[in-house]
Structure 1
């Protein structure tokens, strides 16, 4: 595998509800790769190549308690430039995709990079699309024997939802991340409003059985499951947007304090989910561990958060892989994968 310094374009920002999270990831990935000796271009896909003061300003911003308002995102979309111009990416060895949600994680950017014959980090367009579509991912989990909560797709009558899923239940957009638009519905009279909220973010809305229990997460790098972690919170709560991105909102433990057989099962299920969805490079699988010791797969993230304190980097750090090394290895895995496809 190549070991010399690389020219790397880091794509971040974008126009999804996870824009601020992506900027936070991109900022730390840029710094980590430069610290590793690489030549790094910082590219906001809604604005283009950043330099000088723009780079400092964008990469020092923070994640707010709520995702950006739809009006603000609409203004960015209206003025966005084509960031993936041939001249901008000329001579780049690999593209580090630090986007979250939207066209950055659903396979669209990946398909464009495939057409340009550019190596890029993370999964290909098919795996990205499969993981982003929660309904399709859960169908594949069932076929692969991966436990996942029961679900229905809207429209659903409140009585039918109660009979098939029970209350409380979870309502969420089918193709969103970071729990954007997600609600825990505790009675039938709350269902319509929750479906309307989720529908504001996606044309498809999922209703899912609520699994009470411990929040477990496992990173995958290459073809290896990393350390199992736990997000310590109320077992009847949800790891929501605010809890994920505001310091001190929850406690994260790596490695998790679990019996070894449960930890090994979590690693095995994370690898199985990664392979079932045809993913590449890296991913992060999230589970609920119920009171009977059963692990339920909630979802798989193809482009999980990539700040030094995000869950995947913590999963890697617990295995002795520092953040800069993790970023470097992700890039080199992408180049290796691309070379095999030629």
Structure 2
């Protein structure tokens, strides 16, 4: 049993393309916190507080191979507005944000909780908004001396793309997660279709230099960088939505088999990226390690997945932190942050 029993509202679901991932995260966080004696309310953003029967039905689902359709998400959005002021959240100690993407991760929910005077997990509204905007994040990485692949924002002239980035390149929505809408473009003829695809998910599109190499990830918890992991994928492939959430699609190695100096460099870069974006509580930074041994920061996730195959829990586990302890630490950090305001 924990020293101090907490009343935690786990907020999950949301209306972004990452909704299914959020539901899977919520299920595991709820079970973990209950397993160590906390009182946990399961709150789905479009339905409110779930009954035990609703929990069993909704939280037993797995993550599908593709994100939910936009028309299905639109139906849910109208039900979210009044949630923060609902009675279900009236007397909880902390709101655990098991949300991914959209208004759950871009600072909107965080600002609403701030206005309501409630403690919640993860970063505040400013850091959340900055990290969700990949263009802004990369500008801050450059200012902090953190290497990141070169990029342009669409539309860009063909000659500028060739000069500044070259092919292959990555096309992705500026404000999405889980590689939703992302494509690797290997020649100019395929660029238009990739931009059109990404435009389904955001009206700002990033064109980014493709860095071939090893895919690394580093969790940050408080002021500590956790174990460095490696996602083993095919050469020149991407760690896409399907690969992220379908067990066995890729190999994930924690701790990664890397020289000590590379581990130290990756952990230092993850901490510096976390601070550059004004993040709090926890995050996960993703990198590519190229053939010359140079590390490139791709992005930082402020509410990383907490599913069975998620990377932050694996990073914490390799650092000696169990999943239940990780969830509890995240909760208590959110409470301390709120008290310090």
2:287 matched residue in structure 1? 287
User: CA 1:309/1:243 → structure 2, altered by over 3 Å: closer, same or farther?
Assistant: closer
State the alpha-carbon separation in 1 of the partners of residues 235 and 12 from structure 2: 33
In structure 1, the residue corresponding to 2:57 is in which secondary structure?
helix
User: In structure 2, how many angstroms separate the alpha carbons of the residues matched to 1:58 and 1:271?
Assistant: 36
Q: Secondary structure at 2:316's aligned position in 1?
A: helix
CA contact (8 A) 2:84 2:116 kept: no
CA contact (8 A) 1:47 1:82 kept: no
- What secondary structure, in the 3-state scheme, does the structure 1 residue paired with 2:206 have? strand
1:203 to partner: Cα distance: 1.1
Cα 1:176–1:241 shift into 2, 3 Å: same
Correspondence for 2:89: 89
TM-score, normalised to structure 2's length? 0.98
Q: What secondary structure does 1:208 align onto?
A: strand
Q: Give secondary structure in 1 for the equivalent of 2:89.
A: coil
- Deviation, structure 1 residue 6: 0.3
Shift of 1:76: 2.0
What is the deviation of 1:56? 0.8
Deviation at 1:78, TM superposition (A): 4.0
Deviations 1:145-180 (A, max 9, x none): 000000000111333212210100000000000000
Partner of 2:181: 181
Residues 263-291 of structure 1, C-alpha deviations (whole Å, 9 max, x = no match):
00000000000000010000000000000
Please tell me whether the aligned partners of residues 48 and 81 of structure 1 are also in contact (alpha carbons under 8 angstroms): no
2:165 maps to 1:162: no
Give the C-alpha shift of residue 340 in structure 1. Answer: 1.0
Match of 1:311 in 2: 311
Q: Determine if contact 1:47/1:81 at 8 Å carries over to the other structure.
A: no
Task: Tell me the equivalent position of 2:33.
Answer: 33
Shift of 1:338: 1.0
Q: Is the 8 A contact 2:215 2:231 kept in 1?
A: yes
Partner residue, 2:335: 335
RMSD after superposition: 1.1
Q: Secondary structure at the match of 1:140?
A: helix
Measured in 1, the distance between the counterparts of 2:187 and 2:124 equals 40
Distance 2:42 2:243 in 1: 28
Checking the alignment, whether the CA contact within 8 Å between 2:107 and 2:124 is kept in structure 1 is yes
C-alpha displacement at 1:205, in angstroms? Answer: 0.4
What's 2:19 paired with?
Answer: 19
For 1:175-254, list aligned pairs within 5 A: 175-254=175-254
Three-state SS of the structure 2 residue aligned to 1:100 is: coil
Question: Is the partner of 1:267 in helix, strand or coil?
Answer: helix
Q: Equivalences for 1:126-141 in 2 at 5 Å?
A: 126-141=126-141
More displaced, 112-121 or 81-90?
Answer: 81-90
CA drift at 1:86: 3.7
What TM-score results when the alignment is normalised by the length of structure 1?
Answer: 0.97
Name the SS of the counterpart of 1:9 in structure 2.
Answer: strand
> Using the alignment, how far apart are the partners of 1:58 and 1:81 within structure 2?
21
- Report the secondary structure of 1:179's partner residue: coil
